[in-house]
Amino acid sequence: MMQSKIEIQCPLDTEIPEYDYSNWNINDANFQQCNFDFTDFFNNFMLKNLPCQIKNVTDNWKCARQWVKGDQINYDNLIEEYGDLIAPVADCKNIQFNSQCKSDMKVHQYIEYLQNATDNRLLYLKDWHLRRSRPDDKFYEVPPYFILDWLNEYAMDNKEDDFMFVYIGPKGSWTPLHEDVYCSYSWSVNVVGRKKWILFPPGEEDKLKDRFDNLPLVFEPEKFQNIKYFEITQEAGDALFVPSGWHHQVINEAQTISVNHNWINACNVEIVWKALEKCLIIVEHQIEECKGTPEFPAECQLILKSHFGMDFESFVTFLCYIAKKRLSQLQGNTQADFNQYTLGKSIIKFDLKNILKVLNSIYVHPIFLNTDILSSKEDEFIQVRKDLRAVFSFCK
């Protein structure tokens, strides 16, 4: 029997508010899935860029049964299912150039290491694209709160690198203090184990920087005063929403497996754009001595891509892709389905409105006005912006 789809909606006049992080408290941001719906999440956390935790989201996850035995990792299952795959592994005891050294390992070798209690290395399997290696293995389902995800929609439609990961780490393994790629959101769900997170409201990280503007690899509370930060414990089955630009560090307090995604949508796309703009200014400053040469703008974009992961051209390509897809969905030419969900017209319009806002800002940016960096995208960019403006001039 065909299951009818659940339509995702938001009020038509939804606006992104001014951010205010001063009153947030983890005690008011902890929910059970059964009395916390998509709209609660959308209005109170995603729109406001505030963290929250939702308990027991893995009840229907296949991996929560197969990868877990009692409250421990089911080593045999992981070796049997994935032993021959290769995954990236960070060495938490080998720090070079302010980051953990990484190498690749066969999954069975890693799991054997994990099983061996006398091994005194501290290896953390992270950023493993298991879902990409096993596209038909539906080992987890994205919790409904997190399905508005342009980043992975774009990656999957265009067969590009996705942002969907599995992490496996022993007790004591850790992730250094960082902000997520592109200043995106992330979500993390523990399949088994426990993590302790430290999160900083945006801007607070500036107080942690040294005189060269570098952040410490780990934040040690006793070394700083007057820093606002939050400690959050994430148990098995818990989902944590990490908003854009909230720096964070993580330690596994037991052997832990987690799934996480990075994601962008209409609620944080402007934050991403501002972070891209800011990163360009920093890069321009770094190679100031070349300013005025014909190569300067292109050189900056190259460095931007390596620092930020994205340059102006790839960002515009991404936005135009989502905009064209949503325009076609709005006109009813294509379906707007994600598994059992479908995008309502209000969400599609909300997407388009916020893309238009960013395109308008790009339209008056010196990179668009004074350089040829976006020339290969110019016609498409102008057309998409025109089409979006037409949508909103009609419905005023």
Ligand X SMILES: O=C(O)CCC(=O)C(=O)O
CA 128 – CA 324 distance, rounded (Å): 31
CA 64 – CA 78 distance, rounded (Å): 12
Residue pair 249/333 in contact by the 8 Å Cβ criterion = no
Q: Which position among 180, 238, 311, 351 is part of the footprint of Fe ion (CB under 5 A)? A: 180
To the nearest whole angstrom, how small is the minimum distance from the Cβ of residue 175 to ligand X?
A: 3
To the nearest whole angstrom, how small is the minimum distance from the Cβ of residue 261 to ligand X?
A: 8
Residues facing 89 on adjacent strands: 103, 125
Residue pair 187/53 in contact by the 8 Å Cβ criterion = no
Q: By CB under 6 A, what part of segment 355-394 binds ligand X?
A: none
To the nearest whole angstrom, how small is the minimum distance from the Cβ of residue 102 to Fe ion?
A: 15
Interface with ligand X includes 205 (CB under 6 A)?
no
Interface with Fe ion includes 81 (CB under 5 A)?
no
For residue 342, give the H/E element and its range.
Answer: strand 341-343
To the nearest whole angstrom, how small is the minimum distance from the Cβ of residue 180 to Fe ion?
A: 4
Closest CA to 229 of 277, 196, 183, 264: 196
- The listed partner (Fe ion, ligand X, none) that binds 238, CB under 5 to 8 Å by sort, is none
| Nearest CB to ligand X, comparing residues 188 and 301 | 188
Residue pair 240/20 in contact by the 8 Å Cβ criterion = no
Q: Which position among 49, 74, 100, 186 is part of the footprint of ligand X (CB under 6 A)? A: 186
SS3 218: coil
166 phi and psi, to 5 degrees? -120, 140
Q: By CB under 6 A, what part of segment 221-260 binds ligand X?
A: 242, 248, 250, 258, 260
Q: How many residues interact with ligand X (rule CB under 6 A)? A: 11
- The listed partner (ligand X, Fe ion, none) that binds 250, CB under 5 to 8 Å by sort, is ligand X
Q: Which position among 188, 265, 301, 317 is part of the footprint of ligand X (CB under 6 A)? A: 188
Residue pair 386/379 in contact by the 8 Å Cβ criterion = no
To the nearest whole angstrom, how small is the minimum distance from the Cβ of residue 250 to ligand X?
A: 4
Residue pair 234/228 in contact by the 8 Å Cβ criterion = no
- The listed partner (ligand X, Fe ion, none) that binds 258, CB under 5 to 8 Å by sort, is ligand X
Question: Can you tell me which residue has the tokens 């360009």?
Answer: 280
Residues that bind ligand X (CB under 6 A): 167, 175, 180, 186, 188, 195, 242, 248, 250, 258, 260
Residues that bind Fe ion (CB under 5 A): 180
